[in-house]
Amino acid sequence: MENLPKLKDLIEGVELKANQNDLNILLNAEPNPKWIKAHPYVKGVKYIPIERIEWLLTRIFIRWNLEIKSTQLLGNSVLVTIRLWYQDRLSDQLLWQDGIGACPLQTDQGAGATEFNKLKSNAVMLAAPAAESYAFKDAAEKIGKIFGKDLNRKDEIGYQNLINAVQNENRHKEIFEETNTKNNE
């Protein structure tokens, strides 16, 4: 197998987008430990509450919105797919990530998964928003670690090598510290 070229060989003579790199460093910073909660129903699963995800999206991207692509019944669960739109701070271009989430419909105790005549009266009212929330968080996690991307992964890949990819490596520290300070307010 031939040796692969190094990044610096590929971009020699071309200026790196330092601001994009700084944004990537911020988006892939570890989330503040104060934001991380234990899932109330699933043992050993960690998550960042939706209100923090919404706050981070607003703080980092300023402009974002959620589009519900589809809602369907799959087995005894509500399945929601969404598209999370957010404005790139550097180019003003609208970017997006898709997300998917599901939540089971609650049934009477002892009822089978497909016994729809034994659904709780508020089953859809509870399951649909929960499925949307899971889909929303699924999409946001794809943006970066600060949104919870690696919270429940056994193995992680670090993004420390981004720090040295651009000359002005102190800029990311200022950006993260400013965001982290304001996140604790």
CATH number of the domain at 45, please.
3.30.390
Question: Could you report the per-residue pLDDT of 18-60, keeping only the tens digit for each?
Answer: 778 888 889 999 999 999 999 888 889 999 999 999 999 999 9
Mean pLDDT of 157-162: 65
Angle at 182 between CA 181 and CA 185, to 5 degrees: 100
8 A C-beta contact, residue 88 and residue 74? no
Residue 169, domain extent: 7-183
Question: Cα–Cα distance between 150 and 181 in angstroms, integer?
Answer: 22
Question: Cα–Cα distance between 19 and 144 in angstroms, integer?
Answer: 16
Residue 34 or 11, more confident: 34
Q: Is 150 part of a structural domain of the chain?
A: yes
Question: Could you report the per-residue pLDDT of 62-108, keeping only the tens digit for each?
Answer: 999 999 999 999 988 999 999 999 999 888 999 999 999 999 998 88
Q: Is 32 part of a structural domain of the chain?
A: yes
8 A C-beta contact, residue 179 and residue 60? yes
Question: Could you report the per-residue pLDDT of 161-176, keeping only the tens digit for each?
Answer: 666 655 444 455 555 5
Q: Is 143 part of a structural domain of the chain?
A: yes
Question: Cα–Cα distance between 185 and 182 in angstroms, integer?
Answer: 5
Q: Counting Cβ atoms within 10 Å, is residue 110 exposed (0-12), middle (13-18) or buried (19+)?
A: exposed
The tally of domains found in the chain comes to 1
pLDDT given for residue 175 in this prediction: 58
pLDDT given for residue 119 in this prediction: 87
Q: Is 2 part of a structural domain of the chain?
A: no
Whole-model pTM: value is 0.77
57-78 in b/e burial notation, b at 16+ Cβ within 10 A? beebbeebebeeeeeeeeebbb
